[in-house]
Each structure stands twice: as structure tokens, then as C-alpha cells.
Amino acid sequence: MSSNGKKIALITGANRGLGLETARQLGRQGTTVLLAARELKKAQAAAATLKEEGIDARALKLDVNSAEDYATVAKTIDRDFGVLDILVNNAGVMIDNRSGNETSVTSAEVLRKTFDTNFFAVVGLTQALLPLLRKSKAGRIVNLSSILGSLTLHATKGSPIYEAKTFAYDASKAALNSFTIHLAHELANTKIKVNSAHPGWVKTEMGGEGAMLEIEDGAKTSVELATLPEDGPTGGYFHLGETLPW
């Protein structure tokens, strides 16, 4: 916590959609929320919206694919607060063609771009911010995964996602889940908890108009995992309190 006793949370991709709503819900609980976005102006506009709602919101310029930005953000948080309590790795992309299973023709470029944002960026940013999270009395890392990262469900005929095969995106989220498991194991004897969140099929730009969940409900899993009590789980994969199969 900062010197004024408030938790400090960084949310990536927080200028809109799930990221912004996650920041809103955390802010309503009294957390100082740092809204990170690739373009500072967009982060500032989002922070201004939350400030009008009485939330302590700050804007940060953070391109999740820029290691230079990781270092700058870490220095800024250290200077201004000295600690980071919550990291929500929300930013992500889906650039697969969604017309059906096209695994055999998915290009290396699509795979690289997807993994750069959905996997490598999460690992790099988390590693850069771990020293600040270690200073927290209750550090929480939430990795925004997807039910589409479940290898078990993808391999199970009749499962909700059996026919939904977007290779690059699905594989990147499976890799992200692996990062969650491995980092949680490494940090098991610390006060930091690491979990993967499936927000659900949410009405966002990525989810599309056919999605089932309102954005307020889509943010609930991330907020719950970001505010887990001391006896809460770590190294898990959750949606609205339910455990998902890896």
C-alpha cells in the first residue's frame, strides 16, 4: 500500500472495455488505479472519466510490447508510490481469422504478433514489476486469459469450445496459463498470488455484439482475483468463482 494506506493497482489496456471497467470497480473499492494505455491521451481521457466518478485514477503511457516502457513505468510507480499491490495484465489481441479452424494456414506473422502481446508482453512486464509487487503486503497478479486457453476443453468433444478453434489466440492463452502456474509455484512462499481469469464472452470490441455478458459482469472475475484474501487461491484458472480445467 502507498503511504496514505490505499492499494495501488496497474491495469494494462485500461483506456476502454474490460480494462476500464476493471479499473472502475477497483477504484470504487478505494484503490488508486493506474490506467495504462499505448497512447497517453487515451489513458488520460479514461482517467478523467473515472475521476469524475470520484475515483483516484492516474494515466500511464505503456505500450505492452515495449521493454523501454516497462522500465519507465516501474520507475514512475516506485517514485510516486514505492509499491505495487495489484497488476492486472488485461491487454490482449485476437487477430486470427474467425471463419473457422484454419490452423494449417495460420501464418507465422499472426502467431508472432499474437504471442508478442498475449504472452511475451505479460511475462516481460510482470518480471519488470515484480520488485514492486514484492513490497506489497498482499500482492496480486491477474492474467487475463480465456476459456479458449483450456487444452482440456478444446480436446473434449461436446465441450462449450470444442468447435471454436482460433489457433494463435488459443495457443497464446494456453501459454499464458502456463506462465500463471509456473510463477505461482515460484512465489508460493510469498504474499503474492497469481491467477488466470476468464472474463466470459463479454460485449466488448473483441467480444462482439453477440456476446452474452455485460461488461460490468465481465470485469468481476478480475476484480475478485485482484482482491483475494490471504487464504485465497493461487495458481488457478477461474471464471466468476468457478474453477476452469487447464
User: Do the beta carbons of residue 46 and residue 16 sit within 8 Å?
Assistant: yes
Q: Which three cell numbers stand for residue 128?
A: 519488470
User: Do the beta carbons of residue 147 and residue 160 sit within 8 Å?
Assistant: yes
Residue with cell 468447435: 163
User: Do the beta carbons of residue 111 and residue 168 sit within 8 Å?
Assistant: yes
**Mean predicted confidence (pLDDT) in 137-154:** 97
**Greatest C-alpha distance within the chain:** 54
Interhelix angle 167-186/108-115, nearest 10 degrees: 30
- Span of 114-118, 195-199, 212-216, 226-230 with lowest mean pLDDT: 212-216
**Mean predicted confidence (pLDDT) in 63-77:** 97
Strands 237-239 and 242-243: antiparallel
Closest CA to 180 of 225, 114, 131: 225
In angstroms and rounded to an integer, the radius of gyration of the C-alpha atoms of the chain is 17
Q: Which three cell numbers stand for residue 73?
A: 513505468
User: Do the beta carbons of residue 84 and residue 10 sit within 8 Å?
Assistant: yes
Mean pLDDT of the chain: 94
Which of 7, 61, 173, 220 is an active site residue?
173
User: Do the beta carbons of residue 131 and residue 87 sit within 8 Å?
Assistant: no
Active site residue 41: no
Task: For residue 2, name the pLDDT band (cuts at 50, 70, 90).
Answer: low
Active site residue 162: no
Question: What residue spans of the chain are helical by DSSP H?
Answer: 17-28, 40-52, 67-80, 108-115, 121-133, 151-154, 167-186, 215-218, 220-226
Q: Is the pLDDT of residue 203 over 70?
A: no
**Mean predicted confidence (pLDDT) in 124-133:** 98
What distances in angstroms separate CA 7 from CA 27, 38, 182, 194, one per listed residue?
Answer: 10, 23, 25, 17
**Mean predicted confidence (pLDDT) in 162-166:** 95
pLDDT recorded at residue 1: 66
Strands 237-239 and 193-197: parallel
Q: Is the pLDDT of residue 37 over 90?
A: yes
Which of 169, 193, 220, 237 is an active site residue?
169
- Which domains, ranges and CATH numbers included, belong to the chain? 8-243 (3.40.50.720)
pLDDT recorded at residue 87: 98
Q: Which three cell numbers stand for residue 187?
A: 512465489
Q: Which residue has the higher pLDDT, 238 or 206?
A: 238
Residue 117: phi, psi to the nearest 5?
A: -85, -45
**Mean predicted confidence (pLDDT) in 10-37:** 97
| Cα dihedral: 112, 117, 118, 120 (round 10) | 80
